[in-house]
Amino acid sequence: MNEVSTHPVAHQHTAPTGFIRKYVFSLDHKVIGKQYFGLALVSVFIGMVLSWLLRIHLAYPDYHIPLLSKLSATGAPGGVMTPEYYLSLLTMHGTLMVFFVLTNAPFAAFGNYFLPIQIGAEDMAFPRFNMMSFWTTFAAFVVMMASFFVADGPPISGWTAYAPLSAVGGDAGPGLALGQDLWAISIAIFCIASLLGALNFIATTLDLRARGMSLMRMPYSTWAWFVTSVIALLAFAVLLPACVLLILDRVAGTSFFIPAGLVLSDKLQAHSGGSPLLWQHLFWFFGHPEVYIAILPSIGIIATILPVFTRRPFLGPKALIGSMVAIGFLSYMVWGHHMFVSGMNPFSATIFSIPTLIITIPATIMTLLLTGSLYGARMRFDTPALFCLGFISVFISGGISGFYLAQPSLDTYLHATYFVVAHFHFVMAVASLFGVFAGTYFWFPKMFGRMMNETLGRWHFWLTFLGVYCVFMPMHYLGLVGNVRRYSAFVDDYLAPLIPVHRFITIAALLTGAAQLIFLWNLIWSRFRGPVASENPWEATSLEWSTTSPPPFDNFGGKHPVVNHGPNELGMDGPDGTDFLMQTAPPKNS
Amino acid sequence: MGVDVQDAIHVGQKLGGSGLPPVIKSPRVHNVALNDRPERSETGVWIGIFAIVMTFAALTSAMIVREGVALDWRHFQLPKILYLDTLILLASSWTLETALAKIKESESQFSAGMAWLDVTLALGGIFVVGQVLAWRVLAGQGLYLATNPSSSFFYVFTAAHALHLIGGILGLGYLIYKLSRIKSAANTTGIRATCLYWHFMDGLWLYLFVLLLARM
Amino acid sequence: MGKAFAVLVTLITLVSIAFFFLHTWWLPPNISTTGRAVDHQLEETLIGTGVLFLAGQLMLGWFAWMASGKSKDAPAKRFPGGAASLVVTAILVVGIEILTLTFVGSKAWGAIYLTPAEPGALRVDVQAEQFAFYFRYAGPDGQFGGIHPEKIDDGSGNYFGLDPANDVAARDDIVVGSLVVPVNRPISLTLHSKDVGHSFYVRELRMQQDFVPGLDIPLHFTATQVGKYEIVCTQLCGLGHYNMKAYLEVMSEPDYEQWLKTQAGQ
């Protein structure tokens, strides 16, 4: 006889009714996760289209894009973008991708959906905060997009918004008045949303784990979301005051970041005494942990998915978790490596380079463990598995280029070149996104009750894997030549011979972008027409696979699962002739 | 409860793996207000405290850097009212503890405890008024937000703290509302969380006050 | 699938490495006394990371190959030594690489940024602004005039805001749009910005240094080869960032003296 336990009165027990409560202002973490996923999907397509526009302009500067003049008559008269509009689109590309895609998709979207389920909870610890954090993120998105429609357009100071360019206001150039204000306000709102989200993740992981779900039995994806949310809590708490100070410099006449004696647009600026380097320190103190916020959840997702397809336990769970925690800790010590030639004390450069190089150790450990987990396996090569393999390859590539940039003596040459662009795109745009792809193919059946199309998935993988190497590997060579980044045109003597390489990259980028439409089509088509999924189509072990596809509104149909195993019980003699034990299976000696 | 029993059994069998229904005891999380286990809301406040500490740490280091980087820092006297304000906030922590002791003690003391809660709330409000008065004193001396980096940081720090304290006031108000309806501490959630946050605001103010005294 | 992946990843790896190895797109020749150490550091890093890159990708491809097409009954092997061997390998290999690179690299870095310019170096004042570099020499009196931002007037060529009417030292300052220096002589630059952040980058010197508004930042070098080299801005400074450049002209000593005389005469 099943006992139904008493529930804490923390949230609703009846499924919500009505369209608004079910799909709009929902307290259900699963709906909120899907909302984040949708927002990330919209953001990534906008960000990708922006990258196409940038790449076309670089490779074919005279090419007219008629739609562009419709978007901004001043920014792109006759369909050819002005230098300032190039920088505006560049800024928005980076901002959308880093904040609204890479913080949202692997972390907020999948984390919101699956963290409570993977630990056996009915919902997040604070469902109302959860709903607020999505809608606050959405508000930040709206404010950010509004900058496209103001007179001067979006800001041109990059996603890094260095002062005083970003702080003095309109005298510094186009896009730096209202556009920059909107940017700063949007990011401040985003900080608040992220803080709420991180708080929820941490409280949920600490307090709501089911019986038997010790910390060491949590799936690696949950561990990654947990460590990431601790990083995010501390990092966004620093970016928020930085944005406030920036806004004050812009609108209230303060001088936190603006020194005396600046002459802009022939006007002597009234500010004095501020420090541009202070902005850089505050920003990068957030900014470096931010990139680990972008990559860690994907690492956790890959480590969760890979064993399901190798049909054997992950090699070295404790080492993996230890490495994640080590990276989280070390991520706060390295921010100065973005500032080696910034004018900060050069001795600090040596100091910062040491933890920067040390952080490669846990990253290498994780890569080796992932690769080693393949050894001797009998692998199932479904699409999620392919993206796992692809992840390892691109993570190696992106990580290796980090070795160069971590050394100040090399950074003096490579800083602000395409070498840096290659590095961060490999680890963030490619590796992190491969984790999102793997997660999507893997968890789509659970979220929507239908399988994605395997053929389309394979096409998507092969084209994307080859494509990203064609786009980003050549950028290393450009960097070695000294091709400077954030240039809207290549007019310097030494850059002209590199145009053919840029054309190759542009074409590869357009083709790789087009391949993503396969993924988009697969998502939409499978949502409505995909074959119906069983509860556990991949024969995986974690708790989400022990409930229906999709799960009921309270995840486990009123029950509280009891956990007897870690997620690693794969590749042995399981019940009913299977080769695995789910986490909720009875203990082995029963 | 709205859960179909058949569905529950069905899912329950899935959870059991081999078909054995899971043994359910009371869930890990209690919302009993007064037992030793932290409530969910208290955990949430602890986590929030970490974030708020980071924010003020960032502002503190920004201030230290800014003071050191240029020669334009002008020291000024903190308005005397801030000393009184500090005492008021300290007193409010004391009244809060007194209130809770009475509320938990017995039914007869409950309404006395509620009165003390009201006093705490009022003291919080008076503190904020005191902050505004302090700003007026400075404005009277010609020290505004942008006048000098020292005054800039003064306003930023005190406004940031006041904003967070107002959050605490709203939270305390909500707790008072809940207690006045439920009329029992044992069945009211969020007491420890509210208390923790209030004391943290107090401690944060003490830190800020000393910092401002030393650097302004 | 696994085999296809193995083949593709191997191809990609070999092609990528080939372009690095063949120096198809490469650094320009070094002309700075401190540049050799940087190039040496780069070579070391290329070899070390090249080996890691090759090993990592090939191992991945090999394991993926082996994992495909196996019959269900083949016993699953575990990685020899388990996780522990991998952790130890990572720590040792990466650890040794880190220590070596840090130790050697810090000397290269220190030579450029942690040692002061030689006494008697030729001093040049560099100003970056939206969107040009200007260079100022002290002139025959060996003294730089003071800078007055409120007097800056690009229209009349007073880029630095000098006040020759009242400031004697400013009267013979030479302001030009190119950085002209004699070969094999230590040059000591002082970098300052008129408006926003900029950066000074000369590839052939293997040097880069940001201009920070409000700060005067030193940078010194000795050029060993006559020629004309581009100075480009690498810190996003506004719409003209892509076009902000100047030339470093390294001249023989006699040519430089001649140039200086001509400038001073003007």
Find, in chain C, the residue whose alpha carbon is nearest to that of A470.
C12
Q: Which of A277, A316, A409 sits opposite C105 (nearest CB)?
A: A409
Q: Is residue A251 situated within a structural domain? A: yes
Flag whether residue A554 sits within 8 Å of chain B, measured between CB atoms.
yes
Q: Report the Cα A432 to chain-centroid distance in Å.
A: 6
Flag whether residue C215 sits within 8 Å of chain A, measured between CB atoms.
yes
Find, in chain A, the residue whose alpha carbon is nearest to that of B57.
A238
DSSP 8-state class, residue C182: E
Between chains, do C60 and A371 touch, taking CB under 8 Å as contact? yes
Distance CA A560, CA A555 (A): 9
Per-residue pLDDT tens over the stretch C223-249:
999 999 999 999 999 999 999 999 999
pLDDT given for residue B22 in this prediction: 42
Per-residue pLDDT tens over the stretch C84-104:
999 999 999 999 988 888 888
Comparing CA positions, the residue from A35, A166, A37, A148 lying closest to residue A88 is A148
Number of domains in chain A: 1
Could you tell me which residues are beta bridge partners of residue C210?
A: C199
Among A174-178, B185-189, C115-119, the range scoring the smallest mean pLDDT is: B185-189
pTM summary value: 0.93
Distance CA B160, CA A242 (A): 13
Contacts of A589 (CB under 8 A, 6+ apart): none
CATH number of C122-265: 2.60.40.420
Between chains, do A341 and C211 touch, taking CB under 8 Å as contact? no
Per-residue pLDDT tens over the stretch B40-90:
899 999 999 999 999 999 999 999 999 999 889 999 999 999 999 999 999
Distance CA B192, CA A464 (A): 52
3-state DSSP assignment of residue C244: coil
pLDDT given for residue A205 in this prediction: 96
Does residue B39 contact residue B193 with C-beta atoms inside 8 Å?
yes
3-state DSSP assignment of residue C188: strand
Between chains, do C38 and A410 touch, taking CB under 8 Å as contact? yes
Minimum distance, in Å, between the CA of residue A277 and any CA atom of chain B: 10
Give A 255-294 residues with CB within 8 A of chain B.
255-256, 259-260, 272-275, 277-278, 281-282, 285
The answer, yes or no, to whether residue C71 has pLDDT greater than 80, is no
pLDDT band at C205 (very low <50, low <70, confident <90, very high): very high
Minimum distance, in Å, between the CA of residue A474 and any CA atom of chain C: 8
HSE of A147, CA atoms in CB hemisphere, 13 A: 29
For the domain with range B40-215, which CATH number is right: 1.20.120.80, 3.40.50.150, 3.40.50.80, 1.20.1250.20?
Answer: 1.20.120.80
Q: Which of A126, A208, A245 sits opposite B62 (nearest CB)?
A: A245
HSE of B63, CA atoms in CB hemisphere, 13 A: 23
Token match 């996603």: residue?
A159
What is the token pair recorded at C263? 């400038």
Give A 113-132 residues with CB within 8 A of chain B.
125-126, 129
Largest Cα separation within chain C, whole Å, is 94
Q: Is residue A81 situated within a structural domain? A: yes
3-state DSSP assignment of residue C132: strand
Does residue A30 contact residue A131 with C-beta atoms inside 8 Å?
no
DSSP 8-state class, residue A374: T
Nearest 5°: CA angle at B99, between B98 and B105? Answer: 90
Distance CA A475, CA A466 (A): 15
3-state DSSP assignment of residue C232: strand
Find, in chain B, the residue whose alpha carbon is nearest to that of A585.
B17
- Residues of chain A with C-beta less than 8 angstroms from the C-beta of C215: 259, 277, 343
- One-letter amino acid at A246 equals L
Comparing CA positions, the residue from C233, C236, C247, C227 lying closest to residue C30 is C227
pLDDT band at C79 (very low <50, low <70, confident <90, very high): confident
The answer, yes or no, to whether residue B8 has pLDDT greater than 60, is no
Flag whether residue C10 sits within 8 Å of chain A, measured between CB atoms.
no
CATH of the domain at A204: 1.20.210.10
Token match 């006297």: residue?
B77
Q: Which of C86, C93, C113 sits opposite A316 (nearest CB)?
A: C86
pLDDT given for residue B4 in this prediction: 47
- Residues of chain A with C-beta less than 8 angstroms from the C-beta of C64: 374, 379, 389
- Residues of chain B with C-beta less than 8 angstroms from the C-beta of A5: 24-27
pLDDT tens for the 590 residues of chain A, in order: 332 333 343 445 677 778 888 888 999 999 999 999 999 999 999 999 999 999 999 999 999 998 888 888 888 888 899 999 999 999 999 999 999 999 999 999 999 999 999 999 999 999 999 999 999 999 999 999 999 999 889 999 999 999 999 999 888 888 888 999 999 999 999 999 999 999 999 999 999 999 999 999 999 999 999 999 999 999 999 999 999 999 999 999 999 999 999 999 888 999 989 999 999 999 999 999 999 999 999 999 999 999 999 999 999 999 999 999 999 999 999 999 999 999 999 999 999 999 999 999 999 999 999 999 999 888 999 999 999 999 999 999 999 999 999 999 999 999 999 999 999 999 999 999 999 999 999 999 999 999 999 999 999 999 999 999 999 999 999 999 999 999 999 999 999 999 999 999 999 999 999 999 999 999 999 999 999 999 999 999 999 999 998 999 889 988 889 999 999 999 888 788 888 999 999 887 65
Does residue A238 contact residue A310 with C-beta atoms inside 8 Å?
no
pLDDT given for residue A9 in this prediction: 35
Q: Which domain holds residue A243?
A: 30-258+271-577
Ordered alpha helix ranges (H), A60-97: 66-71, 83-95
Q: Is residue A249 situated within a structural domain? A: yes
Per-residue pLDDT tens over the stretch A516-537:
999 999 999 999 999 999 999 9
Flag whether residue C58 sits within 8 Å of chain A, measured between CB atoms.
no
Comparing CA positions, the residue from A63, A68, A60 lying closest to residue A507 is A60
What is the token pair recorded at B164? 């967070």
Flag whether residue C263 sits within 8 Å of chain A, measured between CB atoms.
no
Flag whether residue C194 sits within 8 Å of chain A, measured between CB atoms.
yes
Ordered alpha helix ranges (H), A429-491: 433-448, 454-481
What's the whole-number mean pLDDT along residues C93-120? 90
What is the token pair recorded at B200? 């943290």
Burial (CB count within 10 angstroms: exposed 0-12, middle 13-18, buried 19+), residue A107: buried
Token match 């997660």: residue?
A439
The answer, yes or no, to whether residue B12 has pLDDT greater than 80, is no
Between chains, do A202 and B47 touch, taking CB under 8 Å as contact? yes
DSSP 8-state class, residue B38: P
Distance CA A37, CA A49 (A): 18
Phi, psi for residue C158 in degrees, rounded to 5: -90, 70
pLDDT given for residue B30 in this prediction: 39
Radius of gyration of chain A (CA): 24
Q: Is residue A21 situated within a structural domain? A: no
3-state DSSP assignment of residue C164: coil
Instruction: Give the A:C interface size as CB pairs under 8 Å.
Output: 312
pLDDT given for residue C147 in this prediction: 94
- Residues of chain A with C-beta less than 8 angstroms from the C-beta of B143: none
pLDDT given for residue C76 in this prediction: 66
- Residues of chain B with C-beta less than 8 angstroms from the C-beta of A252: 145-146
Flag whether residue A477 sits within 8 Å of chain C, measured between CB atoms.
yes
Comparing CA positions, the residue from A327, A333, A328 lying closest to residue A351 is A333
Between chains, do A415 and C38 touch, taking CB under 8 Å as contact? no
pLDDT given for residue C100 in this prediction: 87
ipTM: 0.96
Among A274-278, A571-575, B163-167, B176-180, the range scoring the smallest mean pLDDT is: A571-575
pLDDT given for residue A172 in this prediction: 87
Does residue A164 contact residue A262 with C-beta atoms inside 8 Å?
yes
Can you say whether the dihedral through the CA atoms of A250, A253, A254, A259 is positive or negative? positive
Domain residue spans of chain B: 40-215
pLDDT band at C70 (very low <50, low <70, confident <90, very high): low
Could you tell me which residues are beta bridge partners of residue C192?
A: C127
Flag whether residue A255 sits within 8 Å of chain C, measured between CB atoms.
no
pLDDT given for residue A590 in this prediction: 53
